[in-house]
Structure 1
Amino acid sequence: MADEETQSTFAKITGLVVAGAVAWIAGKAVDAAWKAASGHKPPKPEDDDDPRVAEVVAAAAITAAAVTVARVFATRGTKKFVERVDRNRRLPKA
């Protein structure tokens, strides 16, 4: 029972850290790509200037898509990693 709880806690913590890091990296990648393509940073809610609605919608859609795809791959990879760690912990000691 304790092993299952430890694995579950380990999986949750690892998944949270990896998903957060991957989402941050994806956001930074979108910012860099947007700046390279348009010459300026994507619009943010706290910007003083008044960006066009189409630009705001495009930036939001691209960022959301990139972050979602990155999180899916990170979650799958983390699940495989945790399963491998758990499987190695259960191997009999020689």
Structure 2
Amino acid sequence: MVDESTQSTVSKVVGLAVAGGTVWLAQKAVAAAWNAVTGHTPPKPEDEGDAGLTEVAIAAALTAVVASLARVLATRGTARFLS
């Protein structure tokens, strides 16, 4: 029989892996959508390019919102699946 602390540890590890994969996929989806709309990849803060501060801020905010939402949904879904 599996004790509660072992199950909790397994849940955390599986949840972390699923959340990480989901966030990675969400970032790829944002990049693809950004590319479809603007014709180029989203700017990164460390890139030296033609992107203005507004474009960098919008890309960062959009990526953060989508990644955070994906992480929350993945974590909750994993918790439901494992319980």
TM bracket, shorter-chain basis: over 0.9
Q: What is the CA-CA distance between 1:50 and the residue it aligns to?
A: 4.0
> Which residue pairs with 1:52 in the alignment?
52
Q: Which amino acid aligns with 2:13?
A: I
Q: Which amino acid aligns with 2:22?
A: V
> Which residue pairs with 2:13 in the alignment?
13
- State percent identity of aligned pairs: 56
Q: Structure 1 residue 77 and structure 2 residue 67: aligned?
A: no
Q: Structure 1 residue 23 and structure 2 residue 23: aligned?
A: yes
Q: What is the CA-CA distance between 1:46 and the residue it aligns to?
A: 3.0
Question: Separation in 2 of the partners of 1:31 and 1:81?
Answer: 29
TM-score by length of 1: 0.82
Question: Separation in 2 of the partners of 1:69 and 1:45?
Answer: 22
Question: Separation in 1 of the partners of 2:79 and 2:60?
Answer: 28
Question: Separation in 2 of the partners of 1:57 and 1:46?
Answer: 12
Q: Deviating runs (4+, > 6 A) in structure 1?
A: none
Output the aligned Cα RMSD: 1.1
- Which structure has the larger Rg over C-alpha atoms? 1
Q: Structure 1 residue 35 and structure 2 residue 35: aligned?
A: yes
Q: Which amino acid aligns with 1:29?
A: A
TM-score by length of 2: 0.92
Unaligned 5+ runs, structure 2: none
Question: Separation in 1 of the partners of 2:66 and 2:48?
Answer: 25
Question: Separation in 2 of the partners of 1:22 and 1:77?
Answer: 11
Q: Which amino acid aligns with 1:8?
A: S
